[in-house]
Structure 1
Amino acid sequence: MENREPILEVTRLSKHFKLEKRAVYKAVDQVSFQIFKGETFGLVGQSGSGKSTTGRMMIRLYDATDGEVSFNGKVISGKLSKEERRHLNKKMQMIFQDPYASLDPRMTVMDIIAEGIDYHGLAANPSKRAEKVYALLETVGLNREHANRYPHEFSGGQRQRIGIARALAVEPEFMILDEPISALDVSIQAQVINLLKKMQRELNLTYLFIAHDLAMVKYISSRVGVMHKGRLVELAETKELYANPLHPYTKSLLSAIPVPDPLKERARKRITYDPSIHKYDVEQPVWAEVTPGHWVLCSERELAQYRSDLALVASQTSKKGEQSGKSKEQ
């Protein structure tokens, strides 16, 4: 990971909302991470964890209270000129959760998809504009006959495909996918995810995939960050995080994933997360790298325990490998 080039960097990002009687709600609190070019970075957590707010600050739908966001090495969270904002809107796009609410019901699919093309002047004439829209429809698994229809004539899955085509129309480098399948039927979800993966390979896209469905995040993501009450509590490569979760909150989320096998599902034990186990009133937590690429929010005492736990896992894995090798020799 050290040699990969970050396309986006979030540094100590925070978003606070003022409530009644001068109270302050910390929706996002001191969050830091990088997203590398060509990868899918999964951001997970329960409702209210701050993951969607983080995504909206990254694309400037919300202004950050503190911290900064850098895109391709340039800070984009401060004041930008009209031209800089225009360039950013082209290079960064967002797919929203609700395919019903994100499309203007008064516009045809042709005009919906062509909004960005018109704004950025990406078509020389109406004929080129139409051809570009037709090509985008085919890219997302629809056809040119759909161009003159209105959103209410489509299913949820088809509307989400139209939203994806609209985002692709401006040829972005980076896309924020905010719960893009949660409003869809289960039978359609896999189709949309496979489409996103196919487009990523063909167009060299980078994704931030925001979701609460950990099973789907595991399938699509290169690395995963886990958020809880506005804080990033754990971050690691997907395989490492699911095999060796360290933070108790991560363990509780993973324990809630259903198992296809009925016998194993009945035996599955849920882990309940109790924040009081941390004793952070005595020892403040820090964002620490437990092993290369595996980060956890923890106290010094917890950090030592996590490293000990991972060392034990590595030792047991090594012994199993040696035993397996001996068995094959015999």
Structure 2
Amino acid sequence: MTEKLLEIKNLKQYFNQGKPNEVRAVDGISFDIYRGETLGLVGESGCGKSTTGRSIIRLYDATDGEVIFDGVNVHGKKSKKDLKKFNRKMQMIFQDPYASLNPRMKVMDIIAEGLDIHGLFKNQTERKQRVFELLETVGLNKEHANRYPHEFSGGQRQRLGIARALAVDPEFIIADEPISALDVSIQAQVVNLLRELQKEKGLTYLFIAHDLSMVKYISDRIGVMYFGKLVELAPAEDLYNNPMHPYTQSLLSAIPLPDPNYERNRVRKSYDPAVHNYAENEELEMREITPGHFVLCSEKEYESLKLASAARV
């Protein structure tokens, strides 16, 4: 994976800017996503992961920074035609399958909405056929096309959301906590469906979640967010086997395992940001400790992390 599909450069998303209640939801983060990969983005609720996804796809206008998709700045000034073209290439699967589908529209029209906007069919027969194909792709059948969203289970509704996202043949999909509202038994089905679709269609994913074990299962690389900052970014196996930032270590120590002996002796690591406060003159930036493994740290910490990694080898 060497071809960059998406470049995020110093992205900032502030709300109520300049007011006493200013919220820095995303505070100067940078990362790349390569064509064909799945980048997982994790962190506790309120850390800014969903806001990052929404800013990338322009549901929010970014306060500052650049989002470069396929060589084009997403947040630059664009004509309606250019925006339409961009919207075809990038789609989103939303967190809540209950709220993200219009209850007054039939499945046929929900899925075909993108086809209608972009004019991707010659006649009504082709439109209908395309919807039937999309339903089958996500494990449903054409009989479902004339039903309303309330007639489906949570897992089925999320499949409808995936079908809607696929309708315009996107290259890149932001999956914003697509399984958090689903039963555990259904979660694996939806994640496996996403993996199969990725292989079939060569898709690239940003997979946002807080279920760390599921993120490890689906992701090639994982980024960890804390209070609007990206604190660690590494290949999935490397992050789990060798977490370097104290917040990542705390997150991973909280993962329960179905092993009574392990659970009896499991030691939770707490993360107190006050302990890790830095001097004002210390410059924090993402630094590469080992190949592909980046940590937000000061120059002093960088040296000690490098030494610790060398000793471990």
TM-score (structure 1 length as normaliser): 0.93
Find the aligned partners of 2:224 and 2:45 in 1 and give their Cα distance: 12
Give the aligned partner of residue 77 of structure 2: 79
Kindly report which structure 2 residues correspond to 1:170-319, keeping only aligned pairs within 5 A, or say none.
Answer: 170-282=168-280, 283-314=282-313
Counterpart of 1:321? none
| Residues in 1 aligned to 2:5 and 2:166: alpha-carbon distance in whole angstroms | 18
Moved over 6 A (4+): none
CA contact (8 A) 1:244 1:310 kept: no
**Which range moves more in the overlay, 305-314 or 59-68?**
305-314
> By how many angstroms is 1:21 displaced?
5.0
Shift of 1:277: 3.0
Q: Determine the C-alpha separation between the residues in 2 that align with 1:294 and 1:286.
A: 13
Distance 1:250 1:268 in 2: 16
Structure 2 letter corresponding to 1:307: K
Instruction: Note closer, same or farther for the CA distance 1:16–1:105 as it changes in structure 2 (3 Å cut).
Output: same
Higher Rg: 1
Q: Which amino acid aligns with 1:287?
A: M
Q: Give how far 1:103 is off.
A: 0.5
Is the contact between residue 17 and residue 26 of structure 1 (CA under 8 Å) also seen in structure 2? yes
Q: Deviations over 1:187-218 (max 9, x none)?
A: 10000000000000000000000011111000
Deviation at 1:24, TM superposition (A): 2.2
Of residues 95, 98, 109, the one that matches 1:97 is: 95
Alignment match, 1:108: 106
2:60 to 50, 59, 62: 62
User: Offset of 1:174 from its aligned partner?
Assistant: 0.2
Unaligned runs of 5+ in 1: 315-330
Q: Report the Cα distance in structure 2 between the residues aligned to 1:33 and 1:262, rounded to whole angstroms.
A: 38
Equivalent-residue separation in structure 1 for 2:4 and 2:204 (angstroms): 10
Distance 1:179 1:56 in 2: 12
Give the superposition deviation at 1:157: 0.2
Give the share of equivalent positions with the same residue, in percent: 64
Q: Which one-letter code corresponds to 2:111 in the other structure?
A: I
Counterpart pick for 2:152 among 142, 151, 154: 154
8 A contact 1:255–1:271 mirrored in 2: yes
Flag the structure with higher helix content.
Answer: 1
Match of residue 127 from structure 1: 125
Q: d(CA) in 2 for partners of 1:21 and 1:129?
A: 49
Name the structure 2 match of 1:43.
Answer: 41
**Offset, 1:23:** 4.1
**Aligned-pair CA distance for 1:312:** 1.9
TM-superposition CA deviations, 1:19-41 (whole Å, max 9, x none): 79544221111100000000000
Q: Secondary structure at the match of 1:157?
A: helix
Gaps of 5+ in 2: none
Q: Deviations over 1:269-297 (max 9, x none)?
A: 10000123334125231221111111110
Q: 8 Å contact 1:140–1:162 — kept in the other structure?
A: yes
Change beyond 3 A, Cα 1:87–1:19: closer
Shift of 1:253: 0.3
**Aligned partner of residue 275 in structure 2, secondary structure:** helix
Q: Secondary structure at the match of 1:33?
A: strand
Q: Partners in 2 of 1:93 and 1:162 — Cα distance?
A: 14
